[in-house]
Amino acid sequence: MREHKQNWLDIFSCFRVALDVRKIVLGTLGVYISILLIYLVLLTCSSGSEAQLTFQEALRHPADGIRGLCVWMKTISLRHPLAQCQIGGRLAAFGGAAGILFLAIWAFFGGAIARLAAIDFAKGERIEIGQAGAFTCKKFGSFFWAPVAPLVFVAILFLCNYLLGLAGRLPGVGPIIVGLLFFLAAISGFLVVILLIGTILGFPFMWPAIAMEGTDAFDAISRSFNYLFARPWKTLWCWLVALAYGSVTTAFAGWFVISVARVAYAGVAAGMGSDFDPIAEFLRSGVPPDGTQWPLLIAMVLVRVLIILAGGLFLGYIVSFKLTAFTIIYAIIRRDVDGTDMSEAYLPEQAEAPTETPEPPVAQQPAQTGDGIAEL
């Protein structure tokens, strides 16, 4: 059982809880799949040879993929004439579909990481990825709909105001209807603002609520809104502490990864001498020199892949730390509001374990003698 300080100082256990291979691997997979999704959506939305060439150029430089992606987005949105007239409608359609897929991806990976962090922090136990994945699959609908449901209500309220505006176009009575019912629009606007604040600032509580309580989407929304508005300043303080601590640990993790890569690079380069120059050039440009032999080409690709994987693991650690911080802060605020101990976390095997009912005592029959009279 993990020992807790039962206050905001528990945030400083984020690094230890987040530095877990299972959480980091899940975060890395989520990042890679998300990047692939963005590439595919932008490739589908774009058209024309210039945009395609720019996309291919970005793929040739995966080590500098963010810069290449930004250049490509700028190219298809500003330079290409077909993109200027087609990107709006296409990007809106495919962006909506990509947003749903993006949320589905992170509802799974984020939910699994939150579940691992919840059990690790609360119980001091490390469950397997398969167990976390099974839990996430079972609660996938809750993880997916928790951040979406408030936005659906926002859209409905906005639609009601829009319909009131359409009624205002009626000749003669339209402005009178708007004047009489505008108080409803004001109430609707108030609810929209509350829902948006609760969704944006309370979202970090939603997935941890499901992971720790094993609850559904609406209970997670209720808890997130309640905890946020009940302890706004405590929540803000916890976010600031987690942000400062996360910045320090992330800088350390980045320095560690870069140092390992540089030490490996320097050692191998010193051993190979000038034979390492083609590999170094490939790492810089992403394009193998002309006439490169197959053994050297395989070495180039393998070294490049390892460097990309190292960068992916670093991004996976950032995701792991972020979701771990969300989970720990949820436990802190939950204790302040509900008085629930930080070691409390939902375990299906305990909830579903049948309670053993004691068997009724068996009445003892009096022993009888040979003549049928009971012996006292």
Q: What is the pLDDT of residue 274?
A: 77
Q: What is the pLDDT of residue 373?
A: 40
Average pLDDT over residues 211-218: 92
Answer with the residue of higher pLDDT: 345 or 88. Answer: 345
Query: Is 264's pLDDT higher than 80?
Result: yes
Residues 6+ apart with CB under 8 A from 137: 108
Q: What is the pLDDT of residue 24?
A: 94
3-7, 42-46, 195-199, 295-299, range with greatest mean pLDDT: 195-199
289 band by pLDDT with thresholds 50, 70 and 90: low
Kindly state the percentage of the chain with pLDDT values over 90.
46
Q: What is the pLDDT of residue 266?
A: 85
pLDDT tens string 140-175: 999 999 999 999 999 999 999 999 989 888 888 888
* DSSP state letter for 352: S
118-127, 183-192, 286-295, 361-370: least confident range: 361-370
Query: Rounded mean pLDDT of the chain?
Result: 80
162-176, 266-280, 312-326, 358-372, range with greatest mean pLDDT: 312-326
Residues 6+ apart with CB under 8 A from 215: 142, 209, 223, 346
pLDDT tens string 303-334: 888 888 888 899 999 999 999 999 999 999 99
Q: What is the pLDDT of residue 79?
A: 45
Query: Is 76's pLDDT higher than 90?
Result: no
Query: Is 361's pLDDT higher than 70?
Result: no
Query: Which among 214, 206, 59 is positioned nearest to 146, based on CA atoms?
Result: 206
Alpha helices in the chain (DSSP H): 14-18, 21-45, 49-60, 65-74, 81-123, 129-138, 140-145, 149-167, 174-213, 217-230, 232-272, 277-285, 294-338, 348-351
